[in-house]
Amino acid sequence: MTTALCWDDRFETHDMGRGGLYLPAAGLVLVLMNIATIVPLWPGNIGLVQAAVALPLRNYGVPYATGRIVLFAPHGSPLQLDAQAAGLQAALAGKRIRRFAIANPEHAPYGRAAEQALRKLGLWDALQGKLVLGENVSQAAQFAGSGSAQGGIFAYSLALSPGVAKLGRYVLLPESLHQPLRQRMVLIKGAGETARRFYEYLQQPAARKILTQYGFALPGEPAK
């Protein structure tokens, strides 16, 4: 039996996952429609669950976490960080930003959140021609952390992970800048015992502790 995990962040492969198939969120529905043995559905947002209504789901699942985004600058970047991105605005005005990394907004939920935040801050137009789009949010973090870009916006959970945290600085952006990044898990009918147990485990205190350690807010609770 194969388990398909589709995360917008990949820290879970170290703390909770036991291997599997990792895909951008938008691609998982198509895989599930063609490979019957893949068992649970893990999209990054509620909209993708609703798009999968043709699949044999037990139900619409349960929310397990809400994500946040950060403004990140690698070591040596001229970008000064603040929650209202005044430093980014100044760096753009001073022509000190050549590249800026986000996930592709067309199919990555964290990329859409980044675009929404930049539009609300009035910086989206100024960044055109400078954006480096990751296929997913993990790749966006890789671009920003490598120093090939002067900054980026990606998931808070990735900024907290040791591999990314050592590469630069970050500031948490206000939730009011973007639509909520509510994440939901769904179990498909006919899922085996391993999938059911993992689905249940993600709702238990041990797993919820891991989620909060990586900056996710639990349903009804603020991010820490």
pLDDT in tens, 81-92: 999 999 999 999
Both 49 and 137 in one domain: the answer is: no
Q: What is the mean pLDDT of residues 13-39?
A: 36
31, 97: one domain = no
**Residue whose C-alpha is closest to residue 31's, from 1, 39, 184:** 39
CATH number reported for the structural domain that contains residue 32 in this entry: 3.40.190.10
Indicate whether 117 and 62 sit together in one domain: no
Claim to verify: residue 13 and residue 39 sit in the same structural domain: yes
Closest CA to 167 of 84, 91, 70, 87: 70
Note down the domain range covering 144: 67-177
Assess whether 85 and 49 both reside in one domain. Answer: no
Assess contact for 189 and 40: CB atoms under 8 A: no
Does 158 lie in the same domain as 134?
A: yes
Higher pLDDT, 114 or 33: 114
Residue 203 lies in a domain: yes
Tallying the residues shown for the chain, one arrives at 224
Give the chain's end-to-end CA distance (angstroms, integer).
36
In a domain, 199, yes or no: yes
Mean pLDDT score across all residues of the chain: 78
Q: What is the pLDDT of residue 201?
A: 86
Domain shared by 55 and 91, yes or no = no
If you average pLDDT over residues 63-70, what whole number do you get?
Answer: 90
Within this chain, do residues 77 and 164 fall inside the same structural domain, yes or no?
yes
94-126 tens-digit pLDDT: 999 999 999 999 988 899 999 999 999 999 999
AA identity, residue 114: A
Judged against a pLDDT cut of 50, whether residue 44 lies above it is answered with: no
Judge if 173 and 188 occupy the same domain: no
How many structural domains comprise the chain? 2
Together in a domain, 22 and 105: no
Is residue 48 domain-shared with residue 126, that is, in the same domain?
Answer: no
In a domain, 74, yes or no: yes
On the 0-12 / 13-18 / 19+ scale of CB atoms within 10 A, 69 is: buried
Q: Note whether residue 224 is domain-resident.
A: no
Question: Can you name the residues that pair with 100 across neighbouring β-strands?
Answer: 131, 151
- Cβ atoms 78, 143 nearer than 8 A: no
Strand 131-134 relative to strand 100-103: parallel, antiparallel, unpaired? parallel
What's the token pair of residue 125?
Answer: 């137009």
CB neighbours of 109 closer than 8 A, spacing ≥ 6?
8, 25, 44, 45, 67, 181
Go through 160-190 and write b for each residue having 16 or more CB atoms within 10 A of its CB, e for each that does not: bbeebeebbbbbebebebbeebbbbbbbbee
Assess if residue 45 is contained within a domain.
yes
